[in-house]
Structure 1
């Protein structure tokens, strides 16, 4: 497995992409109630009454407690052993949490912590394993740790200029070392062996890479397809989605190495690929092997049958699965069949060659949330509507809605609301869904309902108006507003909060004319949009806020890409907390507030996170899949 020098952040849909999503059309089911033509009434344009500047206090950063569920951003080391065990590490502060899944279908277990940032794991047997960790920051020497109880406890072995290790058993292994650069700035790479579990290493044999001008490799992978024959892949510093790579081979258990292939400067269909970043090589024999790449093709990897001289892309997972199926790790042979881990943390399993691949984990990828009496209503990637009990602990249930493009899904006592980009769908108990279309020509971008009857919609093409209804969408009032509405939050028929953007004057730009800067504010109305108060702060004015959600007239949350804000006095004062760099709470309905300091957040990944202290810290939300 390659050392990960760059941290990939989870990709989420930005506000700028939402208009594209809204251009998709929705459709009805055969059993849906016939369409009713809505009545539309234009109201007096809303006016801006005042601008307020709330007091904002910066508090400690949001803390995350993962429990037994790993962060699926895969920022740390990852490994699927030949025994079918999957390991993931996650850096939290100055330590790495280690998570294990003993079979593809089992649950995750938190094994505890290792010092520093773990950059590689290697398990030559089910119980014996080794880890390389950075404890003094990037570029420092790496610490080697060992375990003899399957990762439950670790002990330090030694520290050295390790780049990658490979152990044949609990005692014998080899390692790639990086020495200081020569006069030309090229590092000296060497391979040494150990027979005492890594305590001492014998005299090194040099690796012939200096003539290629490589920097210190951060993308490296060992793989042995037989006891004597093994391969070593080294990737250069990546850039712009491509990376030079070299593949070496040994036929004497690592004593000497020879070059097999390297990436050409120009595209060649069967060569060691230049595109993508090296993640892993995995050989199953002296000649048969696989290459996994970050930023590689969706659901595919590269295959060789002639010892790495020629390579071809092999499609194993669907290219259309949501979210992305680009691979991060692959093991073709385990006691449970083939196992694949994608770059956003989903785990796939193929029981036998030729059988279909099954997506085992996670059970969903929630992007939008609302809550009603202990049950979360969630919209997952791919437009699935889910009901997730968080109070009772009952299993999650999927709800089939008639909307093909699901923008929002909300639960009420006996009613469900589903919003597509062209209609509001309502289901009372188990009756047929009833469709209430939006006014002709309007396509929803954002929506929120306070009751099954009362809600508002921000739509295109008129981006400076709001559609409101008090009868479930049979009649609409169109209210013009002095801003571009985003992320509406409805407390009642008259009480609305939302984020709004205003376009400023043109700014000087030598490359493009008529460039204008958008400024963002928090807006509030208590009379259904006839007048507005806006709340201004430099902490969100130039950073497009992702969402706002109030529990009642006092308690509310606002979030941006890097901060979570809390008010308990209706917007006069806020407490701001920095979010982890990988956590991007989804736009619109990414946060669902509850009573007594509780709230749940979704970021398009898994699991859901829950707080009971108004966002100071979050734990993994308790629910059954």
Structure 2
């Protein structure tokens, strides 16, 4: 909504969850008010259906599934292109700070390996399954790829442009349908020959590492179950001509227990790296990072890093440069690097946000740690300060910032030195928006049971409040003026498959009042879940729910419905913000990046903001 000149309403999705309350039969009626409700044309009128797509901003790692460090600066990653059948290959030349989209390959990439900055290989498996995975090679630094081999390949490692190793699974005549083996190529992956080895035939996943041309290791795991898998570590000291078992995890209780060379059974094989014949590291999904000082005989869990235990359990790629110098990539596409002083620092993404808000001076973001920033592009993320604890929504007026959340209502002129605005005793503030520094509306639960929220209005900056009648349960209020209000609200209806009619669910609709709440127009949507509402004027507004964005330019008489792109919709919408001129922004659950549109969410114009 447009309030003071140059500002707009921006919704925090986090507050929506808090307002829902109980939906059981014990929940009270939304309201006992007799305020009139007029159904506006019976339902939400859709005048057109359109689709949105991502047309720019491919240079943004979001869902990295594999990473390879050629050096501390040069990093290659792969990520799935939404739910589509291809993967993108991206390159960073500054350790992960910025990225370039190089190319795409069919399938899901599970192993990347470069031997020079021009020559590289990868393994890709078809999205729809199949017996074969495929090896692709590049001779131009990843700008294009050629398929060179098909087979049941788990992992690869090349020592030179021509010589490499792979773990392959071939059909077996025994009770085990496939038999795993170590294979070698001397012609750049075009053909492979089996090397005799004691490799466990049921091995499914693997990771190679060579600390020198002669000393190498292969870590494998069998089919995982219940958070663990049996693992085997094999070693070569003659450049891969022969292999021996170096260590293994404990077998289950029905098998013989290994008393020496024990490896952790918890977690799944992700990556192995040795940087000397004795010092090595491995990443195990759902378990963490482990280190060995005796060539892999025993392993210890690494815990002395600034990364959380959760992050260490979700490492998808890493490189160890010394005993204390590391680069990590986690499943949420955070890139960590040890700096010159030995401290681990986050180098990408440049920010994370839990909600976004359009204001007089641009776009504002509220981080999960309560930090407030203005965001223009990667080089102009300016930190203003921290919001008070418990804040989930920022309302940027022309000369003031308002902060609303479970801890109350606050005001600041710069993002620091917050002044608390007293609220009536017993209020639980759920959501709110101000038209100007004096006139504002909030959704609050006033000493009532869960789900009994009401709308209250102040015309004197919070000194006093008056209730606004609603014959529905309000969830989000978006005021245009003292009298013009748009609200997302709900009513209880019997749940489906409920023969006794004693269990209820909420159905959410869009409401509008032009007389301060004396009567309401109901735009029937029957949404089971909703997102938010943002009206810029009495005529121009947006509503979003599920995978759809709705835009009206005639005061709600009709809406154009946009289907959001899968890249964004699959994440789930955390927050949206809009401004005049068909400009808008969206933030998904990944908390980065921010998307933008300059034609109300239309086809071919939704792109990454930074």
Task: Name the counterpart of 2:209.
Answer: 223
Task: Name the counterpart of 2:120.
Answer: 129
Task: Name the counterpart of 1:410.
Answer: 395
2:357 to 342, 355, 370: 370
In 1, the alpha carbon distance for the partners of 2:476 and 2:571 equals 13
Task: Name the counterpart of 1:479.
Answer: 468
Question: Alpha carbons of 1:334 and 1:607: their partners in 2 closer, same or farther (altered >3 Å)?
Answer: farther
In 1, the alpha carbon distance for the partners of 2:243 and 2:416 equals 70
> Residue 475 of structure 1 aligns to a residue in which SS?
coil
Asked if 1:614 is matched to 2:603, the reply is no
Task: Name the counterpart of 1:27.
Answer: none
Asked if 1:91 is matched to 2:86, the reply is no
- Residue 417 of structure 1 and its aligned partner are, at CA, apart by 1.8
In 2, the alpha carbon distance for the partners of 1:448 and 1:268 equals 64
1:345 to 333, 341, 353: 333
Task: Name the counterpart of 1:50.
Answer: 39
- Residue 436 of structure 1 and its aligned partner are, at CA, apart by 0.7
Matches within 5 A, 1:348-363: 348-351=336-339, 355-363=342-350
Question: Alpha carbons of 1:242 and 1:440: their partners in 2 closer, same or farther (altered >3 Å)?
Answer: farther
- Residue 20 of structure 1 and its aligned partner are, at CA, apart by 12
Computed over aligned residues only, the root mean square deviation of the Cα atoms, in angstroms, reads 3.9
TM, length-normalised to structure 2: 0.82
TM, length-normalised to structure 1: 0.80
Asked if 1:523 is matched to 2:511, the reply is yes
Question: Alpha carbons of 1:207 and 1:527: their partners in 2 closer, same or farther (altered >3 Å)?
Answer: farther
- Residue 121 of structure 1 and its aligned partner are, at CA, apart by 1.0
Question: Alpha carbons of 1:229 and 1:419: their partners in 2 closer, same or farther (altered >3 Å)?
Answer: same
CA contact (8 A) 2:232 2:248 kept: yes
> Residue 442 of structure 2 aligns to a residue in which SS?
strand
- Residue 394 of structure 1 and its aligned partner are, at CA, apart by 7.1
Question: Alpha carbons of 1:479 and 1:68: their partners in 2 closer, same or farther (altered >3 Å)?
Answer: same
> Residue 153 of structure 1 aligns to a residue in which SS?
coil
Question: Alpha carbons of 1:222 and 1:105: their partners in 2 closer, same or farther (altered >3 Å)?
Answer: closer
1:138 to 121, 129, 132: 129
Asked if 1:450 is matched to 2:461, the reply is no
Task: Name the counterpart of 1:150.
Answer: 141
Task: Name the counterpart of 2:27.
Answer: none
- Residue 599 of structure 1 and its aligned partner are, at CA, apart by 0.8
Task: Name the counterpart of 1:438.
Answer: 423
Task: Name the counterpart of 1:280.
Answer: 271
1:249 to 235, 255, 261: 235
In 1, the alpha carbon distance for the partners of 2:195 and 2:501 equals 61
CA contact (8 A) 2:270 2:316 kept: yes
1:467 to 439, 456, 459: 456
Q: Return 5+ residue gaps in structure 2 as ranges.
A: 1-11, 22-30
State which drifts further: 96-105 or 477-486: 477-486
CA contact (8 A) 1:44 1:530 kept: no
Residue by residue over 1:330-365, the C-alpha shift from the partner in whole angstroms, topping out at 9 and shown as x without a partner, is 21217994211122111111135x722112221211
> Residue 193 of structure 2 aligns to a residue in which SS?
coil
In 2, the alpha carbon distance for the partners of 1:557 and 1:107 equals 33
CA contact (8 A) 1:318 1:325 kept: no
Q: Return 5+ residue gaps in structure 1 as ranges.
A: 1-11, 22-41
In 2, the alpha carbon distance for the partners of 1:549 and 1:239 equals 46
2:67 to 78, 82, 87: 78
